[in-house]
Structure 1
Amino acid sequence: MRKKLLLALFAIPVIANAQFFQNFDAGTTIPAGWTVLNGGDTNTWAVVNYTGGSATAYSGTNTMSIGYASQAHNDHLVTPAITVTAGVNDFLSFYARSRDPLYPETISLKVSTTTPTAAAFTNILAANVAPASGTNFYRFAYDLSAYVGQTIYVSFYSTTTDMFFFDVDDVYNGAIPACDVPSTVIVNSVASNSANVSWTASPTAGATYQIEYGPTGFTQGSGTVITSTTASAVIPGLSPSTAYQFYVRSNCGANGFSAWTAVKAFTTSCAAVASFPYTQNFDTATIPSCWTNEAVTGGGTAVWTYVTANGNNTITPKSAPRMAEFRTTTAGNKAKLVSAPLDISGLATPQLKFSLANVNWSGDIDELRIFYKANSGDAWTQIGSSYTTENTAWLDVTIPLPNKSANYFIAFEGTSNWARGINVDNVSVSDASALGVDDVAKSSGTKVFPNPVKDLLNISTDKKIRSIEIFSLTGQLIKTLDKDTKQVNVSDLKKGVYLLRIKSEGKDESFKIVKD
């Protein structure tokens, strides 16, 4: 936005036209012509380089930043001298960010019409520059025409106490743009073949927009250009699992185009798996394509690996040559191994199968939990049991998948208790509808009958049953029997279709049953 300054003016001789653009990328010291005045605690304005970190500058690698301290700041970051000339350098803009919403940094903009000393900054250009806190930068723009004919200095002035970081980038002093650049470009969501992006509209009335995009590293001018009449757009026709870059600029008709924004980037997601049964056996030394590791809050930085044997060589892959493993030497470490996206919307009765082993070490046992979410933006929901008891041989697990969708994710969450590791192999997602509603004989020889059932459901198996669970088709646990029994009373269930889960030695099986 533009702000007019209604301030008293002081006439001083014209020295020079200070027209500049500064992105602080030339080095890690204060740029020539700029001044830092530190009147508070030891922390003051300094160049921050983001190479290799999780945060980024607005453009390039560096920002000018001021960080938190327990004592109050009283610090000025001062621009070079600006001799304000109409139509030449009567405009100032920059991008700013307050990094932490819990500790919001703010600054003010002050003007000196004499010298770049703290006492000389008596005029207020903006009393409260307060970008919304977070990772995004916001553009601020100011009209300096009230100072035409004067040489001024502008101060980025901080007085906060024990906040976090305030970052400044891409400071521009020049002519008021006939067509102003869009600001605060955000990637809102990314799919396998498109991305939704938005920005703060140009202050130039009636502006439309161009978006140029292409694969990461494309030469600007050679990309694909689309147009938008609003401050958002869907970038279409993208390839899955591909990194892209894009730029945005305003089109102001007779006043021409604005400059392009700084480059923004995103990577498209994998296309959802739509052919079933889908299997993953973790047979390479790296994470499978389209699978991801996801950190768990407070769980450390360890990730799943792909090994040929567990911690004491008592477990080898169910199917050679490798298996997935979560194992650390720090109790309490956690991490999720997240599947590729799955389109299970067309499966009548989707189910997950996998094999699990977890060997103790001096009585300690690593743990496994299974989670799902029906859409990428949903919270994780646990399904099935918490696997906290030891399995010294492979346990074959079958779990019904609730709330099927076209963008489904499954996560295997390992918890380390410094044991021999959680080992997972032979993961598959399939349609269990082939089980039918009649008597079913599984490869293990287990039968459930009669089916449909009215009162008593019988189980025929030569294995000792550890527990029986009955789920609704949406995954809700209805009933549990923690004992070795071959008969289940279902007379209290409403008519409908359910999933019966039988846990026995070496097996964790599910059956579709109909309550009559």
Structure 2
Amino acid sequence: MRKQYLLWMALLLPSWQLSAQTYCTPTAGASSQANYLKNAIFSDQGALYYDATSYQAYVDNSAQMVNSYPGGTVDVHLEHSMGGVKSYVWVDWNADGDFDDFYENPISPSNFNTVDEQFFIPPSQVPGIYRIRVQSGSSLPSPVNPCGPNNYGGFVDFSLKIDTVPTCLAPSALTASNITNSTAVISWTEPSALPGSGYEYYYTSSATPPSVSTPASGTSTQTSAPISGLASFTSYYIYARSVCDASNKSAWSLRGTFKTKCDPMTSLFENFESVASGANASCWEKLGTGYMTISNGAGANNSKGVTQSASSSANPSIAILPVFSNINAGTHWLRFKAKVSSDPGILNIGYITNDTDTSTFTTVQSVNISNKIYDGYEYNVIIPNTVPANARLAIRHNGVPAVNIYWDEVYWEPKPTCLPVSNVSTSNITSSSVDVAWTASVSAPAGYDIYYSLNNTPPTTTTSPSITNVAGNSYTIANLASAKTYYIWVRPRCSSTNQGPWSSITSILTACAPVANLFENFDSYNNGLITNAPCWGKLTVGVIASCNIDGNTPAASGNRHISLRSISSGDIAIAVLPEFSNVNAGTHQLRFKAYSTLATGKLKVGYVTDPANASSFVLIQQLDVTNTSYNTNYYTVSIPNTAPFNARLAIRSDFETSAKAVYYIDDLYWETASLGTAEASVAPEFMVYPNPFTDTINISADQKVSSMAVYDISGKLTREIINPSASVSLRELPSGVYLIKVIFKNGTAKTIKAVKK
């Protein structure tokens, strides 16, 4: 607030100047119609209230007036449609039909979206009605003109009525306290001259203010009064006026507002979808100086949800839930989804006994959250019957640690009779098995069910378990595929008809198992480190050395390949291949396509005896890579039987032999040497179509085919057909990448990669 004192307050105006005047109609909005006066309140002895929802260049609202008196002070509250808007307030003090006199601008511009100012009525001001003009805009001309133009804003007119000095002054500062769903206590500040007969008050759910003749809702000899019979979850406007005697009452005060609480609930589901971003959900409240907001993208499935954070325990963020009539019944729990964006965080689930005081929060359970996705993760807290009946449930972020926590889909519901397990953990992960353990359900169930899948879609109540009625609280899951991510859930089985909810998701990656054959084109993996491909490893020496899966440069097939980069002195980049069960059989070869960014490239093929130590690399053969783009040729290296049985094949680039060459490698095979030799011979032309295929492939060749073999991507033989027809059904195969090897009558062979949809 700042009071604008007028230098001319001693000026007397003759009464003839107060006759009705014609004012200019200002021009505005030629360049922008985004900036306008959204709300205005002028108050002293009574008040005027103005609201707008859209732009108008000029609004003649002079029928609305605020009352004051010589020596009085008018409070001005302005809100604009957007930030950075300036406002001028003009008053035609001499009632001459313009605002041109130098003393007729009591409020100068202020660059705030919300403005709270005052202007002073001179003690000698002649009673009468005077014009007020508010000019608002984001870019006002210089000098400013109350008639325009105002190309980035608009104008609104009001009236000021100057009465004689009142003998009965209005009270001020109306507030409400002890608010319930149907009652409240309203209070106000007494005027400087105390009324002789107390006060009248008026309350309504309508925004229309009372007039002089509006009957009061009640009377009070104090500066407060209880009111009752209110509707729940409803906004009310409250007014008061002084009663000096039976015939002398003040104007109604500036209004106060409050909102009643909601009726108590017995259950809740809230997903925040109907809540405006930045607002509170119905019947919820925020408490504390920490951060909390509802916004798009914060919830499950990228929908609306809550973001909550705090920088320390000194400024917590507390979300207060609606009132529950059964909060201390001991029969319900709070269930919700939550996640973090980076580091783990903690939410305190508890209750609060005073919804205006953070210190009255009591924790029931602290929930540790480390998952970064919603899918598969749900949290629940049982609320005991020791909670006070007048308490409200609350979710607190206490700032330790100070991370963002997101939550959504909140339920207040009866807890199940078969309560869930907790703390599901895994250990002893091999290529085909894993040990799973959990904290037993307090319901002492007859047993437990386990569900595991390669898909992270959580099971439902109708999902058939993978394993049923496990005794005890641990189990070894066997017969898993190697190098696969499995998702695991556990639930209690209290009876054949009563099973508890599934636990939150737990995931594992099974270990790699040695394979006998391999084809890899890297198309199934994300760009980044080569370790995105299961069972592959990397060894790098030097700051710049790298070994990555690359989808940004053209591959030999598909859209990804690997790159080896060692472009500064001392750099070494090694791609470590998966483990092969027959690495030292002396019967296999490594075959791949490659190119170098320099025509002098030299790539080393060998093995490592320690997959974590680059110095354990042993060279088998150095390849001269002279092509600077992919072609139809393969590089082939036969692996001798002198390689250790536990060695891992590796492809190495180092600065000393490669200078600044970058190598790209694709379509890599680990295969029997005879397969490679046959394919290197002159073979008939053939093709497989369609490719990709759905159920059936067609073979087109210029010579007769003796047999056809189908291998999966790991090199495992899945189908062999003698004297195949031109059309072959592969309906039984699952979707994936396959190698179709065709052997012709002349003894030659060719292999083509095919993809089943």
TM-score relative to the length of structure 2: 0.38
1:26-63 Cα offsets, whole Å, 9 max, x none, are 899565544444614xx435568489xxxxx7x99886
**CA, structure 1 residues 307+259, in 2 after alignment: closer, same or farther (shift >3 Å)?**
closer
Report what 1:210 is aligned to.
Answer: 449
Q: Which amino acid aligns with 1:147?
A: V
Q: Does 1:326 align with 2:563?
A: yes
| C-alpha deviation, 1:145, in angstroms | 0.8
| C-alpha deviation, 1:16, in angstroms | 3.1
Contact 1:108 1:156 in 2 (8 A): yes
Secondary structure at the aligned position of 1:146 is classed as coil
Q: Does 1:261 align with 2:261?
A: no
Secondary structure at the aligned position of 1:106 is classed as strand
Aligned CA RMSD, in angstroms, stands at 6.1
Contact 2:347 2:396 in 1 (8 A): yes
Q: Does 1:422 align with 2:660?
A: no
Q: Does 1:383 align with 2:616?
A: yes
Would you say how many aligned residue pairs link Structure 1 and Structure 2?
Answer: 386
Residue of 331, 349, 352 corresponding to 1:112: 352
Report what 2:549 is aligned to.
Answer: 303
Secondary structure at the aligned position of 2:386 is classed as helix
Residue of 76, 83, 93 corresponding to 2:318: 76
Secondary structure at the aligned position of 1:422 is classed as strand
Quote the Cα distance in structure 2 between the aligned partners of 1:209 and 1:343. 38
Matches within 5 A, 1:406-421: 419-421=660-662
Secondary structure at the aligned position of 1:131 is classed as strand
Quote the Cα distance in structure 1 between the aligned partners of 2:503 and 2:416. 14
Q: Does 1:131 align with 2:368?
A: yes
Residue of 391, 412, 422 corresponding to 1:152: 391
Quote the Cα distance in structure 2 between the aligned partners of 1:132 and 1:368. 47
Which 5+ residue runs of structure 1 have no aligned equivalent? 1-10, 52-56, 310-316, 433-516
1:150-186 Cα offsets, whole Å, 9 max, x none, are 2432222223277333344664433344321123445
Report what 1:514 is aligned to.
Answer: none
Residue of 438, 442, 456 corresponding to 1:199: 438
Q: Which amino acid aligns with 2:662?
A: G
Quote the Cα distance in structure 2 between the aligned partners of 1:368 and 1:46. 56
Report what 2:466 is aligned to.
Answer: 224
Quote the Cα distance in structure 1 between the aligned partners of 2:651 and 2:275. 44
Q: Which amino acid aligns with 1:173?
A: W
Q: Does 1:143 align with 2:383?
A: yes
| C-alpha deviation, 1:124, in angstroms | 1.0
Q: Does 1:91 align with 2:333?
A: yes
Contact 1:179 1:258 in 2 (8 A): yes
Quote the Cα distance in structure 2 between the aligned partners of 1:62 and 1:107. 19
Q: Which amino acid aligns with 1:16?
A: P
Quote the Cα distance in structure 1 between the aligned partners of 2:269 and 2:650. 47
Residue of 581, 584, 607 corresponding to 1:343: 581
Q: Which amino acid aligns with 2:663?
A: I
**CA, structure 1 residues 328+427, in 2 after alignment: closer, same or farther (shift >3 Å)?**
closer
Amino-acid identity (%): 16
Quote the Cα distance in structure 2 between the aligned partners of 1:61 and 1:372. 49
| C-alpha deviation, 1:358, in angstroms | 7.0
Residue of 164, 185, 192 corresponding to 2:403: 164
Contact 1:371 1:381 in 2 (8 A): no
Report what 2:200 is aligned to.
Answer: none
Residue of 461, 485, 494 corresponding to 1:252: 494
Report what 1:39 is aligned to.
Answer: 289
| C-alpha deviation, 1:326, in angstroms | 1.0
Contact 1:48 1:65 in 2 (8 A): no
Residue of 268, 271, 284 corresponding to 1:20: 268
Matches within 5 A, 1:337-486: 339-343=577-581, 359=596, 383-384=616-617, 391-393=624-626, 404=646, 419-424=660-665
**CA, structure 1 residues 350+26, in 2 after alignment: closer, same or farther (shift >3 Å)?**
farther
| C-alpha deviation, 1:19, in angstroms | 1.9
Quote the Cα distance in structure 2 between the aligned partners of 1:199 and 1:426. 43
Q: Which amino acid aligns with 2:395?
A: F
| C-alpha deviation, 1:260, in angstroms | 2.7
Contact 2:275 2:294 in 1 (8 A): no
Residue of 108, 122, 142 corresponding to 2:360: 122
Report what 1:501 is aligned to.
Answer: none
Secondary structure at the aligned position of 1:164 is classed as coil
Secondary structure at the aligned position of 1:261 is classed as coil
Secondary structure at the aligned position of 2:368 is classed as coil
**CA, structure 1 residues 252+76, in 2 after alignment: closer, same or farther (shift >3 Å)?**
same
Q: Which amino acid aligns with 2:289?
A: G
Contact 1:243 1:266 in 2 (8 A): yes
Contact 2:565 2:663 in 1 (8 A): no
Quote the Cα distance in structure 2 between the aligned partners of 1:144 and 1:324. 58
Quote the Cα distance in structure 1 between the aligned partners of 2:446 and 2:304. 31
Secondary structure at the aligned position of 1:84 is classed as coil
Quote the Cα distance in structure 2 between the aligned partners of 1:124 and 1:66. 18
Q: Which amino acid aligns with 1:383?
A: S
**CA, structure 1 residues 133+349, in 2 after alignment: closer, same or farther (shift >3 Å)?**
farther
Contact 1:213 1:246 in 2 (8 A): yes
Quote the Cα distance in structure 1 between the aligned partners of 2:617 and 2:547. 25
Quote the Cα distance in structure 1 between the aligned partners of 2:479 and 2:672. 31
Contact 2:566 2:573 in 1 (8 A): no
1:383-426 Cα offsets, whole Å, 9 max, x none, are 31699x9955479596976572xxx8656577999955214479
Which 5+ residue runs of structure 2 have no aligned equivalent? 1-179, 183-261, 627-634, 674-757
| C-alpha deviation, 1:280, in angstroms | 4.6
Quote the Cα distance in structure 2 between the aligned partners of 1:285 and 1:12. 61
**CA, structure 1 residues 412+322, in 2 after alignment: closer, same or farther (shift >3 Å)?**
farther
Contact 1:326 1:422 in 2 (8 A): yes
Quote the Cα distance in structure 2 between the aligned partners of 1:428 and 1:357. 12
Quote the Cα distance in structure 2 between the aligned partners of 1:38 and 1:335. 53
Contact 1:92 1:144 in 2 (8 A): no
TM-score relative to the length of structure 1: 0.52
Contact 1:24 1:63 in 2 (8 A): yes
Secondary structure at the aligned position of 2:292 is classed as coil
| C-alpha deviation, 1:258, in angstroms | 1.6
Secondary structure at the aligned position of 1:211 is classed as strand
